[in-house]
Structure 1
Amino acid sequence: MTHAPAHLPHELDPAPPRAPALEQQFPAVVSPLPASAAPRASTPLMRKEHRDNIALFRYQVIRGVADPSLSTRQRGPLVRALAAVDHPWPFGGTRRYSRETLDRWIKAWHRHGFDGLKPEERSTTIGTDPTVLTLAESLKREKPNRTSAQIKRIITETLGQAPSETTLLRHFRAKNISTGARPVATGRFETNHSNEIWVGDALHGPRIGARKTYLFAFLDDHSRMVTAARWAYAEDAIRLSAVLRPALETHGIPEVAYLDNGAAMSDKSLARTCAKLGIRLVHSAPYRPQGRGKIERFFNTVTSQFLGEITVTDTPMLPGTEPEAGSQISSLDELNTLFTAWVNMVYHHSVHSSTGQTPLARWEASWEHRSPVSKPLEVIRQAFLWSDVRTVGKTGTVSLHSNIYEVDPLLAGTKVELVYDPFDLDGLITVNNRQGVPAGIAKPIDIGRHVHTKVTNAVKDNDTATNISTGINYLDLVATRHRQSLTGAPISFADLHDQTTTGNQVQPTIKEESR
């Protein structure tokens, strides 16, 4: 790095004369433009030159006071004097800069040299210049081993700025250019204990009554135990909560929840739940399914061993009626009843080829010298509440999902967080101010909607079960055996907001039985 000479220029004397014309200091930088505005830089090369010219101008302004040999006490009066005079702007007119700005330039020059004085790049075009993409393509074809990051650095050095690595990769794929990414051997991964990682995902299922079904499932990475599973008519956060909440009450709190990037898995309500319960929420990177193989294999088992045994009908099957093939179902409730029985009576008792144990036996063995992390039911209920930020009106009221609530008048004009139960919008709604401090309760004033719009459709999933035949085929035999051993009832959407409900669960853990 080249430093300015130690002696001080005459321009910084207590009574400094007017600085010589800028053309005499660095004529190559001066533009004959009469206006004070900088010229529009419309191409990458012009933008690079523009940033270089501004950096050179800044260096000419601070070159004397930036001498590293000056102490802070010596530099202070000189910078104040420099801030008191006008400086010819290279694009016409004059500019005056505050002491804070000059100090920032000096610090940037000390840390990064000439590059530290360049202004930040700004995007001036909506799309990527085709010429730049052509250059990137040529650089890639010239040396296929060049990474997108390296090509970005080369273009930035040449033109001043470059497209993002994602844009370059997308362009290379569109042109069928190999990105040079070699397969990475990640090896087999498995946690040492249960509840270290729960892997969650959703499986698209059959149509029932012209409505698509979806299976939300969570699998314990160590034991392959299905900690939560339920079929629903939609893939959203409400249905996901209906699956996850009873699982946390029954099986404990996992350390990590490893999920896909679907809308339900990325919903802010789930992020809030995990944060409240101390669960680390991790989403798999796009195009990198490593770590999701276990639940994908489980879904394959569900498809081949369970869904393959089901026949969907339009009308409920009467007792004693012979089905055409497999177990006949006509409602979501029937699907969940058979599936819960199959998971608890068949899957959990089948030896897994990778572990050499049944999921249930491996799960129970993991707790011989340790206990699951549990939370009080009220803490879990609070974690599944939703929150939204709203601005309080001048009258001390706030709107939430078409309802009007009254809050503390002192909060008027400020933003507050409303914490509420989506199943009970006319119930208790707590208010937190912008610092996150509790600020009272929101009092209902005008209630036109009693539940969240997503809840309205979710409650319909809990349709009334109809009679199903038993003793006819495989899944019905499993269901019969499951009903004989089951001691709890399936979770209901309507019970999610009931603080007194403690026995409902999606997947009750059963003990190993003799066969």
Structure 2
Amino acid sequence: MTEDENELRRRNICDFRHSVVAELGNPYLNRGQLTTLIKEKSKRDYEIPYSKRTTITEGCIRRWLCLYRKFGKQGLNPQIRQDLGKSRLIGEQEQNGIIALLESNPELTAIAAVRKLREQGVIKTEISSSSLSRFITSQGLTSKERQKVIMKEKSLKFDFFSPLECVQSDVMYGPEIPDKNGKMRKALLMTFLDDATRRILYGRFSFSEKSILFEDGIKHILKAQGMIGRLYTDNGSSFVSNQTRRILDILGITLSHTKPGIPQGKGKQERFYRTVRDQFLRPLDISAVKNLDDLNARFNTWLECEYHRSPHRGLQQHITPLDAWIAKAHHIKSIASSIDLDRIFLHLLSRRVYKDSTFTLGGTLFEAPAILSGKRIDIYFDPHPPVDRVLVSQGGKEYGDARIVDTYANSKVKRGYSRSSDLQSGYEHSDLPVNLTATNMGGN
């Protein structure tokens, strides 16, 4: 049992004992009333913490009452054993050997550790599984506790050398500002931080944290800076989109996530957001911010003029992020000229073409080439609204852009057969004279 678990156990026991004797400490109770009340309490059933017993004897209640009167509630705490954490059945040398072996080899089980120490001659006595289990638990060396230590070590501070070798991204909740309709809404800041230099490669406030905003940041960095080696994010919905994963797989960029419940890996981003709150948002007059564009303009000015030009304690010799970037810029790998980023960042979906050669996307009806009627096709499109251009592909062959169906224009198309109109149309478009008589046409 760990120290925290022991403390919780003592606190729960103390609270229970206090609930039993608290009213007995009333100074207005005479001896007869006190005796009657103790007898009554000894006949009740209780849910006693960490015990299978359900009743308490009169002698036990009187002893607790004596301690309560003498030392207060603290006197009801169970005494700490002098040999707590020490096994009386396992020798001191054997205990030290088990502890040292398990700490240096976290993957070993306690039984395997004892077997190995017995082979080495460190342990010479028989140790029962129950005694070993109690000892391991008291030392906080259970398999679960040792795994926690391993995970903590893996999440300790890490640094990359080259710019863009690892780019971290996260989202911070910012102030409320008016949207285009004048309604106050919470602004969210999504940023991309270069691990090696602490430079902010992309940062923008918006009213959502959709995955396309994450993709916008990636695309901006690839076009403006160079090739990203690895992206490191948490498990938020913005960072786990299937479309985003498909795009990153095409580019060969690794996407890594922090372990759930272990925030230590996001330390650099959290530290930057603390700087944003202290040095940008705190001095900012939020009431003077007109809209998102205004807020982003102010943020970018602060970013380039102050943050990137201020010494950073997380960098060697406390240089600025801008100086660190310039010093290592020659390590950046450029994007191959053959890569069409605009095409790669198009979203891909599958659709079945209706018999009238149409399909829908986001509630909009598009018309595909008639040859694709009834077939399943792949469509590529820019996800930013409005979606008015969709590239159609089927079986690896491209068929160009689909046309948005104009239902109003289609309603004006004449359908059915009219003899008089067809005849008139035929006259107007034939080589025959318009004033032909019925007899010339074979009429009566």
Residue 349 of structure 1 corresponds to: 309
Residue 439 of structure 1 corresponds to: 398
1:185 is aligned to 2:185? no
Task: Give the Cα–Cα distance (whole angstroms) in 1 for the partners of residues 273 and 406 of structure 2.
Answer: 43
5 Å-filtered alignment, 1:207-286, equals 207-209=176-178, 210-286=184-260
Task: Give the Cα–Cα distance (whole angstroms) in 2 for the partners of residues 285 and 415 of structure 1.
Answer: 39
- TM-score of the superposed pair, with normalisation by structure 2: 0.53
Q: What is the aligned counterpart of 1:305 among 271, 276, 279? A: 279
1:332 is aligned to 2:292? yes
- TM-score of the superposed pair, with normalisation by structure 1: 0.46
Would you say the 8 A contact 2:381–2:387 is kept in 1?
no
Would you say the 8 A contact 1:249–1:377 is kept in 2?
no
> How far did residue 208 of structure 1 move?
0.6
Residue 266 of structure 2 corresponds to: 292
> How far did residue 329 of structure 1 move?
1.9
> How far did residue 288 of structure 1 move?
2.6
Task: Give the Cα–Cα distance (whole angstroms) in 2 for the partners of residues 445 and 215 of structure 1.
Answer: 35
Would you say the 8 A contact 1:391–1:416 is kept in 2?
yes
| DSSP 3-state at the match of 1:188 | coil
Q: Could you say which structure has the larger radius of gyration? A: 2
Question: What is the identity, as a one-letter code, of the residue corresponding to 1:404?
Answer: L
| Aligned length in residues | 258
5 Å-filtered alignment, 1:31-46, equals none
Would you say the 8 A contact 1:406–1:442 is kept in 2?
no
Percent identical pairs in the alignment equals: 28
Question: What is the identity, as a one-letter code, of the residue corresponding to 1:250?
Answer: A
Task: Give the Cα–Cα distance (whole angstroms) in 2 for the partners of residues 353 and 266 of structure 1.
Answer: 32
Question: What is the identity, as a one-letter code, of the residue corresponding to 1:273?
Answer: I
> How far did residue 412 of structure 1 move?
3.7
Would you say the 8 A contact 1:405–1:442 is kept in 2?
no
Residue 17 of structure 1 corresponds to: none
Question: What is the identity, as a one-letter code, of the residue corresponding to 1:330?
Answer: K
> How far did residue 351 of structure 1 move?
1.3
Task: Give the Cα–Cα distance (whole angstroms) in 2 for the partners of residues 343 and 377 of structure 1.
Answer: 33
> How far did residue 308 of structure 1 move?
0.9
Question: What is the identity, as a one-letter code, of the residue corresponding to 2:271?
Answer: R
> How far did residue 361 of structure 1 move?
0.9
> How far did residue 410 of structure 1 move?
4.3
Question: What is the identity, as a one-letter code, of the residue corresponding to 1:362?
Answer: A
Higher helix share: 2
1:400 is aligned to 2:361? yes
Would you say the 8 A contact 1:194–1:366 is kept in 2?
yes
Would you say the 8 A contact 1:408–1:439 is kept in 2?
no
Q: Gaps spanning 5+ residues in structure 2: where?
A: 1-101, 110-141, 179-183, 408-444
> How far did residue 293 of structure 1 move?
1.2
1:273-316 CA distances to partner (integer Å, 9 max, x unpaired)? 32333222222231233432111111111111111111221xxx
5 Å-filtered alignment, 1:113-152, equals none
> How far did residue 424 of structure 1 move?
6.4
Task: Give the Cα–Cα distance (whole angstroms) in 1 for the partners of residues 163 and 230 of structure 2.
Answer: 11
Structure with higher RCO (Cα < 8 A, 6+ apart): 1
Residue 204 of structure 1 corresponds to: 173
5 Å-filtered alignment, 1:458-473, equals none
Task: Give the Cα–Cα distance (whole angstroms) in 1 for the partners of residues 186 and 143 of structure 2.
Answer: 38
Structure 1 residues 345 and 420: alpha-carbon distance in aligned structure 2, compared to 1, 3 A threshold: same
Residue 57 of structure 2 corresponds to: none
Q: What is the aligned counterpart of 1:421 among 369, 382, 387? A: 382
| DSSP 3-state at the match of 2:247 | helix
| DSSP 3-state at the match of 1:367 | helix
